[in-house]
Amino acid sequence: MNSIGKKISETRRLKGFTQEELAELSKVNLRTIQRIENSKNEPRGKTLSLICDVLQINKAELDQLNNLAQKKSIIAFIINCIFLILLNLLLMSITGYMTLDADKTNSKVGAVLLSFFIPFFIVYHTQKMKATERVLKFGTGYIMYPILLLYAQGFIGACRAGFSSWLFSCILVSVGVLFYGNAVLKAEK
């Protein structure tokens, strides 16, 4: 519920009005009141003034609440971005660390298993997210790793390092699971 809708709903209840009574007293359509309180609409202009007059709410106070809510959503967005960057770096580091040890087959097998199970865990917890959005949010590190490898070692060196260490296989498995994981989960149900 947005801050204006929440404040209107709380004040209406404190004053003992039903939605119908508020609609009748403010001469605003009942459906509009319902949509405002359910955060489907945000009242502006005359509608907001009519509702504020009936509920004896200061219109400036509602504007301040709305501005505060917008600032909180910006802060939440920034925190989410930082978290996703750190998560992508962690996923990229795990895959790189597991595949760098060229002499250990166990490490490579572990890297392949982790490159399946970690993205599958992400898919399981983000089933409502679209596949492309999931790959962009959680697979950016996997996609950036080969690009950084190309930049650092050149094409031949990157291909040699990526294929000999199973790095490219792990990245392909991870991105594939992130993209097609919902299909696997739907098939299970």
Give 120-131 pLDDT, tens digit per residue.
999 999 988 899
Domain-embedded: residue 64: no
pLDDT for residue 1: 46
Residues 62-111 pLDDT 10s: 777 777 777 888 888 899 889 989 988 888 888 888 877 656 666 778 88
78 lies in some domain: no
Q: Quick one: what percent of the chain has pLDDT higher than 70?
A: 94
Determine the pLDDT at residue 176: 92
Domains of the chain: total: 2
From residue 175, alpha-carbon distances to 116, 140, 150 in Å are 9, 9, 18
Among 76, 178, 170, which Cα is nearest to 127's? 178
Q: Are residues 129 and 178 in the same domain?
A: yes
* Average pLDDT for 167-183: 89
